[in-house]
Chains A and B, each alone.
Chain A
Amino acid sequence: MALQMISVRGLEKSYGDVRALTGLDLDVAEGSVLGVLGPNGAGKTTAVSIMTTLLRADAGSVSIAGIDVAEEPSRVRSIIGLSGQYAAVDEHLTGFENLDLIGRLYHLGNKAARVRANELLERFHLTEAGSRPVGGYSGGMRRRLDLAGALVAKPRVLFLDEPTTGLDPRSRNDLWDVIRELVANGTTLLLTTQYMEEAEQLADEIVVIDSGRKIAQGTAETLKTQTGGDRIEVRIDSELDREKTERILASVAVGEVVVEGRVLSAPVSGGPRALSIALRNIDDAGIDLSDAGLRRPTLDEVFLSLTEAETHQLKEAG
């Protein structure tokens, strides 16, 4: 088994009456990418702040590469990189000066800090902008610079807290490319996001958190299968065939068949097989279709159904 680079156990944190984390467990294997997905206020930033030594947990433990964050925070700081929700760059300094300062504060030495700053500017396509104050940068450039800042000391573990929030789609894609490249080079990454697409694009594994704890975990595929699963969706040519089609679909469905105008959809398990049976029966019955297919739920739908189920459970418990 690969070494767990990040290991979180029973993490709890409250701000006054607000319980931000209520027993969070996470594991990230070396060289892998964990996407932490959750709505606003789910506790993502609090969790990252504790893992990166910015906050102390009320209970529970975090170890990074086997080092306990509460016991040896400075050792942890020297192997991690953090890029937060807000691009933490000084807008009065130039891009170069920002990175150079961070390098000096990592105690790389003045010369090495300079070299590293230039290296990173080039890698993030900021060489030309590097001599201008950051105040004039676009949002995407600031994020790239901030990410570069997190990489100055070649961290073994990288934390990105909602790295693309507020970016336009193009800058987001650019940043994704950069992140993929990092991961390809073996960096362990924990990424928080509100965007399912982002988690699906970048993460090996996804943890969905809500109200401060984990409510689901798996790859994008397993999460989709776990909740709701596939649906057969057909569009009939003639309204007259509706009842007949509904009966056929009901015979393969695992739940209620939904009819909306000429579109009928039915939840199924073992998608492709159910689809081919249904289509054969429809064909045998002489019904004409204008469209038919197997639809997998989007990660958005999975996410919504998970968080809704959670809210529902809480209400019943309360």
Chain B
Amino acid sequence: MNRTRLAFADGFNIARRNMIKVRRVPEILISVLVTPVILIVMFAYVFGGAIDIDGGSYREFLVAGVFAMNVVFGATFTGAGLAEDMQKGIIDRFRSLPMSRSAVVFGRTASDVVYNVLTLAVMAGAGLLVGWRINTSFFEAAAGFLLLLGFAYSISWVMALVGLMVPAPEAVNNASIMVLFPLTFLANTFVPADTMPTALRVFAEWNPVSAVAQATRELFGNIPAGTPEPTAWPLQNPVLYTVIWMVVLIAVFAPLAIARYRKVAARS
């Protein structure tokens, strides 16, 4: 019990350190608070006029997609932060302390959750301003937000492993652009997948980000009336499909990231 408590305390202190950083590094605040708002407004007014959704409003459809994209990109903080700590030798310092072996990575991924809560809060505000509404109960809406945070958290563990394997923080950004962009755009985040060519459509249907967006739309009541039932299993069971991905990603990547953390050595 004492060990677990200490491990939690260690993780909390690492997360606390990352939070102090937010106050000192304006770029983080901008990417957590300002960029999402710009994206909401841009998509709502730039694409919003041109894209029609049968029986509903594009802005209602859009907001859940922007939520999904932004929280997934939030995982980049974990990767870049760990890579930076490694480059500067801070990981070596931590590893020479009698602290929990998993606290640094846990603390990092936990900070992403805090960033994402902030991001979701301002995005929801911006969404309300451009006409997005929650048409369901409080509990369903809460479940929608929790699902977004949970899925983003599982991606944080993937990025944690990436961050501990790359030679420099910049490489994390490259990796995230190469992987997260296709993952968030080849999906039903911004437009329904129906009109995509077959190969892309199948990818989009099985893409977990699509399931996250679909699940969130359902939980917020943003699926326009008269939308045909999805034909792909993941989109018929988006909550279940998302949860399966979350569990699998964490089960695979958390042990890998922690094992990697224990092994990473000073650049000799």
Interface residues of A (CB under 8 A from B): 15, 20, 45-46, 49, 52-55, 74-75, 77-78, 80-82, 84-93, 97, 101-102, 104-107, 133, 149
Contact = CB atoms under 8 A, between A and B. Distances in A.
A313 to B, nearest CB: 25
A28 to B, nearest CB: 18
Task: Classify the secondary structure of B's interface with A.
Answer: helix
Contact of A53 (B9, B17, B96): B96
A93 B21 contact: yes
Given A46-B268, A54-B95, A92-B24, A85 B6 contact: no
Nearest to A46: B268
Interface of B: 6, 9-10, 13, 16-17, 20-21, 24-25, 88-90, 92-99, 103, 265-266, 268
Contact of A105 (B21, B97, B268): B97
Given A105-B10, A133-B24, A88 B92 contact: yes
Contact of A106 (B17, B24, B97, B265): B97
B93 to A, nearest CB: 4
B92 A84 contact: yes
A82 B93 contact: yes
A82 B10 CA distance: 19
B9 A104 contact: yes
Contacts of B10: 105
Given A75-B98, A91-B88, 8 more contacts: A46-B268, A54-B96, A78-B98, A84-B93, A92-B24, A93-B17, A105-B13, A106-B99
A76 B201 CA distance: 56
24 contacts: A15-B268, A45-B268, A46-B268, A49-B92, A49-B265, A53-B95, A54-B92, A54-B96, A54-B265, A55-B266, A75-B98, A82-B92, A85-B266, A86-B89, A88-B89, A88-B90, A89-B90, A92-B25, A93-B20, A93-B21, A97-B17, A97-B20, A101-B17, A133-B24
Contact of A82 (B9, B13, B96, B99): B96
A49 B263 CA distance: 12
Contacts of A86: 88-89
Contacts of A49: 92, 265-266, 268
Given A92-B24, A101-B17, A104-B9, A77 B98 contact: yes
Contacts of B24: 92-93, 133
A107 B98 contact: yes
A77 B20 contact: no
A80 B96 contact: yes
A77 to B, nearest CB: 4
A69 to B, nearest CB: 11
Nearest to A104: B13
B265 A77 contact: no
A102 B95 CA distance: 11
Contacts of A88: 88-90, 92-93
B266 A90 contact: no
B268 A101 contact: no
B89 A102 contact: no
A119 B204 CA distance: 58
Contacts of B92: 49, 54, 82, 84, 88
- Please list the 5 inter-chain residue pairs (A to B) with the smallest Cβ-Cβ separation, ordered nearest first: A88-B89, A88-B93, A86-B89, A77-B98, A78-B98
A84 B20 contact: no
Nearest to B22: A92
A153 to B, nearest CB: 8
B268 A107 contact: no
A316 to B, nearest CB: 28
Contact of A102 (B9, B16, B97): B97
A149 B92 CA distance: 12
Contact of A87 (B20, B89, B96): B89
Contacts of A104: 9, 13
Nearest to B94: A105
Contact of A90 (B13, B90, B99, B265): B90
Contacts of A133: 24
Contact of B98 (A90, A91, A106): A106
A20 B268 contact: yes
A251 B105 CA distance: 71
A85 B92 CA distance: 11
Contacts of B96: 52-54, 77, 80-82
Nearest to A44: B268
A133 B25 CA distance: 11
A105 B265 contact: no
Nearest to B13: A104
Contacts of A20: 268
Given A92-B21, A97-B20, A45 B95 contact: no
Contacts of B20: 92-93, 97
A290 B24 CA distance: 65
